[in-house]
A and B are shown apart, each in its own frame.
Chain A
């Protein structure tokens, strides 16, 4: 308890707690349909695009968030189209796009400011990255994701489970998928500076995978994934404070541990 109080005495840690917990919650909720629809790679692709956009924004002196959010949303829209089209092989296209975005980011940074600690913190995250406006934005985002999720829960289920049936019975499938990818884009941009571009996609994928091992009901999977994700984030943050390790990596290790436990439970 005194440990928590000690930690919470630092305003930047409080901000990290708030933003991180909310981003983890959103990422896990969005992750369930993404993983089930075999779109896990989209989250990964988006984080790399987000890194590129951030590097360009810093180099050109734009406000980082306000520049990367539209760029990543555009990429999300694009990635979804790629994943759906039968003509190109989706995984290859996504891999090409993420590598290119990463390369653009690295080249732009080394041409301007040089490979500094900034780049390192984009790649692997930094707890110091959260500003007051980030907190505001992530509270808004979390509110939006939760509200949309609740309002469209049954439709999201239908679209995730069976697109052709949903389409045939008059659900506007395209609109829901676009919504899903745009919300994912927002979540990735917000979470990436704390978790790091290399690690943010794990927030999307791990909780959904863990929950699917243990639960058989879609609603339980969604609720458990959200809860687990927040718990793992908090444990990771405390762990990183104790061990002086980077937050992003510590959180991912917590998620991995939770996944292994769930996988073992699911096998029984």
Chain B
């Protein structure tokens, strides 16, 4: 079987603050078509890991190869900030801003970018909302808008930071369904940080569990046999 393209790779990476490592000797490879859920208790270093994977903070040691980001193929769904909730901008304006990283210094969006944005909005079922104001949408709709923006930024790898936080169960299920569609049909690789263990076990193919100086990276079946998985998923 031919090896799929590597989108993101950590080699012997240690993360943490100054001289207090939270996580050591992490090896992780995300390839095209992967679906990885990152689990771990609060304070175990999930957000630090995410920042390093995005290149926002350098790791204490080791090497992170962000191939997808270099190629402009990384989409990111951050957690919402309170300031965003009452932001005066239309859905279309927000979605289009996903193209920024690919466009250099041009002043306007091209027709091609506009039609791609429409296509992504259609795929996520928010096309009819495109003239609406972001702050008037429900939490689930807002997540879809941010997801459409992430799709404008990338078509190989999506990184999601606790995507269902604050959503009601129905909206959460919808979001997982959408992610599954993007993964199965569009071949998008997904890396999702989450607290939602049951959804992670159900949706993802691979689990990265981090906690208390040890980490586990393997398929869902392996995870359920592993000690950290047995403790965490009961």
Q: Residues of A with Cβ closer than 8 Å to B?
A: 36-38, 150-151, 153-155, 157-158, 161-162, 164-171, 211-212, 215-219, 221
Contact = CB atoms under 8 A, between A and B. Distances in A.
Can you list the 4 inter-chain pairs with the closest CB atoms, starting with the nearest?
Answer: A216-B133, A169-B101, A218-B89, A168-B76
24 contacts: A154-B107, A154-B109, A157-B97, A158-B97, A161-B89, A162-B78, A162-B81, A162-B146, A164-B78, A165-B76, A165-B78, A165-B150, A167-B54, A168-B54, A168-B74, A171-B100, A212-B88, A216-B88, A216-B133, A217-B90, A217-B133, A218-B87, A218-B88, A218-B90
Interface in B31-83: 54-56, 69, 72, 74, 76, 78, 81, 83
A217 B100 contact: no
The secondary structure that dominates the B interface is mixed
Contacts of B72: 169-170
Interface of B: 54-56, 69, 72, 74, 76, 78, 81, 83-84, 87-90, 93-94, 97-98, 100-101, 107, 109, 132-133, 136, 146, 149-150, 153, 159
Contact of B90 (A38, A150, A211, A216): A216
B132 A216 contact: yes
A170 B101 contact: yes
A38 B83 contact: yes
B100 A166 contact: yes
Contacts of B90: 216-218
Contacts of B81: 162
Nearest to A163: B81
Given A36-B87, A151-B107, A218-B88, 18 more contacts: A153-B107, A154-B97, A154-B107, A154-B109, A161-B94, A162-B78, A162-B81, A168-B54, A168-B74, A168-B159, A171-B100, A212-B88, A216-B89, A216-B90, A216-B133, A217-B89, A219-B93, A221-B88
A162 B56 contact: no
Contact of B56 (A155, A161, A168): A168
A198 B103 CA distance: 42
Contacts of A158: 97, 100
A166 B136 CA distance: 23
Nearest to A155: B100
A56 B10 CA distance: 55
Nearest to A211: B88
A165 B87 contact: no
Contacts of A219: 93
A233 to B, nearest CB: 23
Contacts of A168: 54-56, 69, 74, 76, 78, 159
Nearest to B56: A167
B1 to A, nearest CB: 32
A215 B88 contact: yes
Contact of B101 (A171, A212, A215): A171
Contacts of B94: 161
A32 B53 CA distance: 32
A159 to B, nearest CB: 10
A167 B57 CA distance: 11
Nearest to A216: B133
A161 B153 CA distance: 15
A211 B133 CA distance: 14
Given A216-B88, A218-B90, A37 B83 contact: yes
Contacts of A153: 107
Contact of B84 (A151, A162, A211, A216): A162
B69 to A, nearest CB: 8
Contacts of B69: 168, 170
A171 B101 CA distance: 7
